[in-house]
Amino acid sequence: MHKLRERAVFLLIVVSILAAQGCREKYVPPVTQPATGYLVVDGFINSGPGNTTFTLSRTTKLGNGLVQYETKAVVSVEGKLNTTAVVLAEVASTPGVYTAAVNINPADQYRLRIITQGGKEYLSDYSAVRRTPAIDSISWKQETDGVYIYGSTHNTTDSIGFYYWKFDDTWEIHSQYFTRLKVFYDPVVGPHHVGYRDSATFADVLSLFFCWKDASAKKILITSTEKLKENRSVNFQLRHIPTGAEELAVRYSMNAKLSYISREHYKSLELLRKNTELLGSIFDSQPSENLGNVRSVASPSETVIGFVEVTEEKVQRIFIDQQQVTSWRYRSGCALETKIANTPPLEISAAHTPTQVSKFNRVSPNLIDSVFVAPTECVVCTVRGYNVKPSFW
């Protein structure tokens, strides 16, 4: 009661101050953590086709923005009936990611064992095997404020279901301007001169015009049918793309992923969602211990973030073309190109640096009268994305 009273008095004082100021300021709570950070376990034991994959990392200080991966750990999956463990190998190209094919017996239960490079051992609780129902549909609808994308599914086996959605999305981007020339530095010709990017074709370099960008879900997307009459989730919102956003300037694709999880896992994700998405002022949910099922063997009270279960992921991909939506006027923000006379040495002012040549005026086959320059991000799409066409595109 004494601590509760102190918190009430503190809250009253803070609320009074904020009321006097006439606004609600952002509140950053004091969060303490060990120097090495808390262990984060991300993944699931796959009961469907494909490998079982886990990513191990450590939490960092608020505002750091860097991911600290847990490398050189020994990660294995153990069955309760079968004592032979399957060791997950760390992927050489992506440290902190561990993967292997695990044969799942539907009648067995499984857990994850982690031994870090420093010798600390962690175990998850045993989990029964779950199968994820099929995705009924991934649909979308355009409203006045943008495009909304929804996922639907159902399960007739259980009366209540808990669903965990994720997605990866990809969209095509174009440069504002084509380019076939660039500004070179050559001590013989002059400090700046114009030449073809591709001296073999003398054509626009399309690899700098057509690119793609990737992203993934930034929110924890969970839903349950606990308060519904049947185990059916219809039109659960996965994403909102605001009107005029770059994602639908050309073509967009979402690869939706669905997992069937336990009530305990759902509650853990719900708490994590409140702590990560809603936190921001004293009026929001305050940080609390994350309810996971992974524990330190030597120190059971140690905070570990992550919930390990045996389930599978169902996937479904959709595409939306710009022609399918109405009045989608994406604006790149690129200004008009600057015209510069091609009189050696070509003068490029500081205001145009870095610059790329987008087009030119030709007065004869071998003479360029002037060029037009623009900022790099308006001419070279690889500044904003990648130019290797995805295999599913």
Burial degree of 3 (CB within 10 A; 0-12, 13-18, 19+): exposed
- DSSP H/E element including 310: strand 310-311
When pLDDT is averaged across residues 142-151 and rounded to a whole number, the result is 97
Identify the residue with better confidence: 287 or 65: 65
| pLDDT single digits (tens) 26-39 | 434 444 566 668 89
Q: Which of 253, 246, 252 is nearest to 175 (CA)?
A: 246
One domain for residues 41 and 77: yes
| pLDDT single digits (tens) 223-242 | 999 999 999 999 999 999 99
In a domain, 94, yes or no: yes
| pLDDT single digits (tens) 197-212 | 877 887 889 999 999 9
One domain for residues 58 and 197: no
- In the DSSP assignment, the letter for residue 386 is B
In this prediction, residue 109 has a pLDDT band, given cuts at 50, 70 and 90, of very high
pLDDT at 124 over 50: yes
68-82, 258-272, 289-303, 317-331, range with the lowest pLDDT: 289-303
One domain for residues 279 and 340: no
In a domain, 62, yes or no: yes
How do 304-305 and 39-46 pair as beta strands?
A: parallel
d(CA 195, CA 222): 54
pLDDT at 346 over 90: no
Q: What's the domain count of the chain?
A: 2
In a domain, 134, yes or no: no
One domain for residues 188 and 111: no
* Structural domain boundaries, residue 341: 175-211+332-383
Identify the residue with better confidence: 334 or 344: 334
Tell me what the pLDDT averaged over the chain comes to.
82
- State both tokens at 322: 């710009």
